[in-house]
Amino acid sequence: MTSASAQRRRTAREAALAAAVEEGLLDARSPLIGLLDVDGVLAAVDDLHHAFSGPATVRHTFAAKACSLVPVLRLLARAGMGCEVASPGELELALEAGFPPGRLVFDSPAKTVAELRFALDHGIAVNLDNFQELARVDALLAGRSPAGPIGLRVNPQVGAGAIGAMSTATSTSKFGIALRDEGAVQAVADAFAARPWLSRLHAHVGSQGCPLPLIAQGVRAVHELADHINAALGRRQVTGLDIGGGLPVDFDSDEDRPGYADYVTELRAAVPELLDGRYTLVTEFGRSLLAKSGTIASLVEYTKSAGGRRIAVTHAGAQVATRTVFMPDSWPLRAGVYDAAGRPKQGATEVVDIAGPCCFAGDLTAVGRELPAVEPGDIVALYDTGAYYFSTHFAYNSLPRPAVHGYRTDAEGQIRFALVREAQSVRQVVEESGAAHADALVGLLAAGGPGHAEGTAV
């Protein structure tokens, strides 16, 4: 049975695609766009807050990497979220979006001294990745207390999920302090004993492909470590646990499964004391908050056959669906076919490959799918693409970034759009590629050099 939320999502998406065509947002001049369902995003935020309601103080942050668009981040800030950032760029985006420093968490395995100094001076929570980074913070603080919470990231080494690249708690993960390595637990405890300002522990098991029981094992390990440290010190020095995010997304349907309530149920079973209020909790969900609310829509430019297989050539490929194109078994996407007016196509089906515009054979977003017959001028929609896809562009073939539009359904049932990001022009692509310095290398030749006189073929 289709849930009410899935039906609402599907109805709103179909209405938005038709409205995008009617308003000229998707046409021959703009053959590729991203669409974001604002009501869907807000509903996901509400579900998250409701699932964690209880005696524990829980500070939910959004992983900026999942949708690094300032208007989206500002929407989430207004909805009561904090923001987890993992680079100086993401930090600036979050500040521009209006997140106060006290609602930010800075994670990165390669923080520079300057980045650490900024975070420490502005009260931004920091999760330190290793003991060398901890020594840097010692030097920067020089005996003073930090303005915000400081934690250590640990790797509980509980194993991998179905997608190795998305699993961050393997025995050899690059993230955090490996807890099962010899002497690691004692070294972490000693670090807290020597630094009364260390107050948090952080662990993140992984995201897509990680089952909930595996994630819960990692959270249990960090909870047990916090209890161990506090007992050894005879005081409640560890007051906060950053348990990361990682709720996987069902890319096979419109349903939100597993949901945040399922996640919390798994946590309660594995760590009954987690939500009793002794520790402040921090979460860092990303994909699960945005994925289901996004759609990539592209006009079909051509259709053809090769070896008996039908092929639809679209403008949506590796530049907007990078993971799906390069790892199709791990990141399959559902696709829908709409007519030129943006209405779902009906009738006879065909087995078809959906191809993108990139100049390599593997640029396929769907392979061997049975879909309504596709014709030039139709629209192919890639579902569940609100996280990472249109917001994290891959500049292969110098293809420009598409426009992104947010939408809501008003009281009269009409779709209202808001521009989230303008389409990048081809001229902007040229300028971004160093056009202002076009003569720089030729200038080196003109200046002379061993064996490279001006005019000599190189």
Other Cβ atoms within 10 Å of 72 Cβ, number: 29
pLDDT of 23 > 90? The answer is yes
Q: Give residue limits of the domains in the chain.
A: 100-285
Q: Which secondary-structure segment (H or E) carries 283?
A: strand 280-285
pLDDT digit string, tens, across residues 335-376: 999 999 999 999 999 999 999 999 999 999 999 999 999 999
Lowest mean pLDDT segment, chosen from 126-130, 219-223, 434-438, 445-449: 445-449
CATH code: domain 100-285 is 3.20.20.10
Taking the C-alpha atoms of residue 131 and residue 152, their distance in angstroms, rounded to an integer, is 9
Taking the C-alpha atoms of residue 415 and residue 407, their distance in angstroms, rounded to an integer, is 6
- Residue 413 — φ and ψ, nearest 5°? 85, 10
Mean pLDDT score, 109-137? 97
Lowest mean pLDDT segment, chosen from 7-21, 91-105, 130-144, 161-175: 161-175
pLDDT of residue 451: 60
pLDDT of 150 > 80? The answer is yes
Contact (Cβ atoms closer than 8 angstroms) between residue 127 and residue 153: yes
Could you tell me the pLDDT band of residue 169, with boundaries at 50, 70 and 90? confident
pLDDT of residue 452: 56
Mean pLDDT score, 1-20? 96
DSSP 80: T
pLDDT of 458 > 50? The answer is no
Pull the structure tokens for residue 303. Answer: 């259709």
| Catalytic pick among 67, 210, 358, 359 | 359
Could you tell me the pLDDT band of residue 163, with boundaries at 50, 70 and 90? confident
Other Cβ atoms within 10 Å of 30 Cβ, number: 16
Query: What share of the chain has pLDDT > 70, as a percent?
Result: 98
What is this structure's pTM?
Answer: 0.95
CA distances from 48 to 25, 256, 284, 341 (A): 32, 12, 11, 36
Taking the C-alpha atoms of residue 384 and residue 249, their distance in angstroms, rounded to an integer, is 9
* Residue 358 annotated among the catalytic residues of the structure: no
